[in-house]
Chains A and B, each alone.
Chain A
Amino acid sequence: MDMENQRRIKEAADKYGQDELIIVLGGAEAEASGLAAETVSNGDPTFAGPLAGVQLGLKAYHIMEPDVKAEVDPAVYEEQVSLMEMVMDADAIAAEVKSIREQFTS
């Protein structure tokens, strides 16, 4: 994840806390989405950015996870996301992000 974005996420986490703040991802594939989910929960696994060794414990969800999609206005989802959903492996992405979330957050 981009260094500047790591810094911004850390700021937001400090301000709002892990109970109030969640992360929503739009990553195009499973590995990168999982890496972002790991970075905001368990720290930067590449040890390159401000979140290296910093366990924020934030829950990250992908916008295409069924439980997230279910809460979005269907007309808005259709307009904003459905086209990309057809060309992305939504099932694999959702499974990876969920797996990371369950591994690193309570």
Chain B
Amino acid sequence: MILKGRKVAILGDRDGVPGPAIEECVKSAGAEVVFSTTECFV
């Protein structure tokens, strides 16, 4: 398992998948979010 029981730091992308969307995903898999942001890579 990659996510379950792990601490996760999220680097979302404004033009891709933003941080809050990834947060919902990893929480549903049993991970704990310790840091989340949404970057603009441009």
Contact = CB atoms under 8 A, between A and B. Distances in A.
B8 A26 contact: no
Interface of A: 1-2, 5, 8-9, 12, 15-16, 20-29, 32, 36, 61, 63-64, 67-68, 71-73, 76-77, 79-81, 84, 88
Chain B at the A interface: SS class:
mixed
Interface in B9-39: 9-13, 15-19, 21-22, 24-26, 28-30, 34-35, 37-39
Given A26-B13, A32-B41, 5 more contacts: A16-B7, A21-B9, A26-B19, A71-B3, A72-B25
A84 B6 CA distance: 25
Contacts of B4: 71
Nearest to B25: A72
A13 B25 CA distance: 21
Nearest to A19: B6
Given A5-B37, A23-B9, A27-B11, A71 B16 contact: no
7 contacts: A8-B9, A23-B9, A24-B26, A26-B19, A68-B2, A73-B29, A81-B21
B39 A2 contact: yes
A5 B12 CA distance: 11
